[in-house]
Amino acid sequence: MATLDNNKNQQGTVAENPIMANDQNVLQKHAAFFDRNHDGIVYPWETFQGFRAIGCGILLSTVAAIFINFGLSQKTRPGKFPSILLPIEVKNIQRGKHGSDSGAYDSEGRFVPSKFEEIFSKHARKHPNALTSDELMEMLKANRVPKDYKGWLASYTEWKILYVLAKDKDGLLQKETVRAVYDGSLFERMEKEHTEKKKNK
């Protein structure tokens, strides 16, 4: 996987964590990729377009759009009447945070470096900076809150989609890839790569 060049120090090595602990709601940056017209609202068709933009098939993009918008719409619109259009308000995306997750986002949508590091220090056994498919499943099970079935499903769906889309040729989910998901840069990079592939066909 490509590294983030703007995080290199003077020796040319990549600096650790590009996300600062006090970053203002990096979860919003993560969600904003799917706000295709930049109006602060993500509708199901925009979620669909976002998944298609990073190279997902029509079926996966459709299922993801329905699942994500149905699950997050009302949570991000506190006090408002439910809408059949299932809009998600990006400014309130932290309200959609579910249980049984890694804890790398706090309740305000800010990045928590220690929790991010725990993903790999606790579960990456074969490779210190990457997760195998089995290690990913172990992490999901370890994070489960008893009887939090919605949280279990949400975490499983999110991480399995990420694994399918972003694993490397050896079937590993690299640490820098996961970090790029949390700061939102992975989606932009995948969109660029997918666009270039289409141009070269």
pLDDT of residue 162: 93
Closest by alpha carbon to 149, among 61, 71, 89, 74? 71
Given a cut of 50, the residues of the chain with pLDDT beneath it are 1-23
pTM of the model: 0.80
In 31-184 the beta strands, taken as DSSP E runs, fall at: 41-42, 88-89, 130-131, 173-174
pLDDT tens digit sequence for 82-117:
999 999 999 999 999 899 999 999 888 888 999 999
Quote the tokens at residue 75.
């949570």
pLDDT of residue 24: 52
Quote the tokens at residue 49.
């377009």
Please state the φ and ψ torsions of residue 111, each to the nearest 5 degrees.
Answer: -75, 140
Closest by alpha carbon to 105, among 3, 166, 200, 21? 21
DSSP assignments along 9-68, one per residue: -TTSPBPS-SS-TT-S-HHHHHHHTT-TT-SSEE-HHHHHHHHHHTT--HHHHHHHHHHH
Q: How far is CA 77 from each of CA 37, 97, 143, rounded to the nearest angstrom? A: 19, 13, 27
